[in-house]
Amino acid sequence: KDQRRVLPCAAQLNGEYGVNGLYVGVPVVIGAGGVEKVVEIELNSDEKTAFDKSVASVQGLCDAVNL
């Protein structure tokens, strides 16, 4: 059954949250065919800082392995 639930998932971002081309843990709508939509939630200042730090870590790992 296609429940189209909102769940946390590492999904490729294409402009969402100001990020392009990285897989980052965000809330998404998952249906029978996989990720259907990235759900952008408003982040407060502390959350945005933590999110940006996480994105920088992911980018650093990708850079380290030449992705």
Q: Is the pLDDT score of 44 beyond 90?
A: yes
Supply the range of the domain harboring residue 29.
Answer: 5-64
Query: In sequence order, what are the residues at sequence separation of 6 or more whose Cβ sits closer than 8 angstroms to the Cβ of residue 67?
Result: none
pTM of the predicted structure, to 2 decimals: 0.84
Closest among 28, 29, 25 to 53, alpha carbons compared: 25
- pLDDT tens digits along 14-39: 999 999 999 999 999 999 999 999 99
Domain at 11, CATH number: 3.90.110.10
Q: What is the mean pLDDT of residues 49-65?
A: 96
pLDDT of residue 1: 73
Q: Is the pLDDT score of 67 beyond 80?
A: no
31 in Cβ contact with 2 (< 8 Å): yes
> How many domains, the chain?
1
